[in-house]
Amino acid sequence: MTSTKQIATSHGFRSIFCTFAVAATLLTTEEARANNEIYKKALPSTVWVLAKTDGETSSGTGVLVDLEKKLIVTNFHVVGEARAAVIFFPVLKDGNPIVSRQHYLDNVKSLGIRGRILSVDRKRDLALIELDKLPVDSTAIPLAAATISPGENVQSIGNPGSTDALWAFTSGTVRSVYQKTFRTGAGEHDFKVVETQAPINSGDSGGPVVNDKGELVAIAQAIAPNARLVSYSVDISEVKEFLASPWKPAPLPASDLLTRADLKFTVHKTGHLEVEFEEKDVEKQNVFVTKDVEYFEKADVRKVWSLAGTLKAAPNLDLTLRMLEQNARTKLGAWMTERSETGEYMLIYCVKLDATASPEALKSTMEYVAKLTRTAKKDLLPKEAGTTASQTLDSWLTQ
């Protein structure tokens, strides 16, 4: 039998529970409304970025940061070695974006905007793209005045390849902000990281991470591979420094440089590019250029090298001194030795060339390397050397 007191108590608990439930519903509704407002505020500044490198198309996200100069910021790893990109701004229908990828691809002539990669910063994993034009309703995203703090909310917009939808919304919280040095497939990085508890998927890279005011606080960059819901973004302070620094021209792909220099090349199985130089009455000499750019801070370089021959034993003192003597006299580069997997010693002439050098400069460098290496075979190497050069070159290329 239930007493009147028990009924009253039970009724009281139900009333309190209902009050909490209504309050939670109102809070959730308000939160959703606020997120929707932030999304719609950041959306006109967010773009879909498509770039082609080595015959493959990469897809990512970017954000408009300068309306007057028509500048987009994205990740370096989104554009890679490409120097042109196609940019799509969201098309709105009844206030909401059309999210179908195929819609934009089918209308690329009317919706796609050509972009030129002005500058890259591999250390920060950032790239700057200049557009030919802008949609009439586009707006540049406001930049936050300072770094965001742990515990604050963040929202982002991206174009994840894992779904069929573009301009997908994600929210989370800031876990920590700190300087981080790490390596990805795009190279070595060192920048102030905004670590968040929010998922970033392939395709979201380069997109805006904003605060509750809709201000840009970071650029989405990567996920922590061995952790759950831990993502890294490039802090706004790094973005501002990148925009304020002198824009170093982004290097062209090696294949483009060789084509512009009218040099016929083949692609070695390692991906490095090979050019055969031939002169009348002299033997052919193959010269290689690395497919990738090596860098330190703002310095970008490419290796150009050729193999003079191989030795069964390490260079003796006399040969080493002659190599050092030649190094002091050569206009470019230097002699170096590498030990192959078979135990032989390869004599290589190598030049480290500025990766932003012109096609003509690359051609001249390769011709110089070919001529010097061909000549050195007579001066530096014993007569039997060089006979196994083609057999051992692969081992050096794959290092």
Average pLDDT over residues 66-83: 93
The residue assigned the tokens 């034993």 is: 313
Please give the Cα distance from 300 to 308 (Å, whole number): 26
**The pLDDT of residue 12 is above 60:** no
Which pair of tokens denotes residue 333? Answer: 């580069």
pLDDT, greater one: 330 or 166: 166
Angle ∠(53,55,60) on CA atoms, nearest 5:
45
**The pLDDT of residue 262 is above 60:** yes
What is the chain's mean pLDDT, rounded?
85
Residue 255, CA distances (Å) to 55, 143, 331, 364 in order: 11, 37, 25, 16
**E strands, 278-367, where?**
285-289, 294-296, 299-311, 334-339, 345-354
Please give the Cα distance from 74 to 160 (Å, whole number): 14
Digit-coded pLDDT (tens) for 79-103: 988 889 999 999 999 889 999 999 9
Digit-coded pLDDT (tens) for 35-66: 889 999 999 999 999 998 767 889 999 999 99
Position 45 scores a pLDDT of: 96
Where does the pLDDT of residue 4 fall: very low under 50, low under 70, confident under 90, or very high at 90 and above? Answer: very low
DSSP code string of 274-302? EEEE--TTS--EEEEE-SSPEEETTEEEE
**The pLDDT of residue 74 is above 90:** yes
Position 62 scores a pLDDT of: 97
Q: Which CATH number fits domain 43-244: 3.10.310.30, 3.40.50.720, 2.40.10.120, 3.40.309.10?
A: 2.40.10.120
Please give the Cα distance from 373 to 273 (Å, whole number): 18
Position 186 scores a pLDDT of: 78
Q: What percent of the chain has pLDDT over 90?
A: 52
Please give the Cα distance from 307 to 288 (Å, whole number): 9
Q: What percent of the chain has pLDDT over 70?
A: 86
**The pLDDT of residue 149 is above 60:** yes
Digit-coded pLDDT (tens) for 337-389: 988 888 889 889 999 999 888 899 999 999 999 988 888 777 776 655 444 44
Q: Which CATH number fits domain 254-397: 3.40.50.620, 3.30.450.40, 3.30.1460.10, 3.40.50.720?
A: 3.30.1460.10
SS (H, E, C) 203-238: CCCCCEEECCCCCEEEEEEEECCCCCCCEEEEEHHH
Average pLDDT over residues 235-245: 96
Q: Could you state, in order of their start, the residue ranges of all structural domains in the chain?
A: 43-244, 254-397
Element (H, E) at 77: helix 76-79
Query: What's the chain's length in residues?
Result: 399
Average pLDDT over residues 211-237: 90
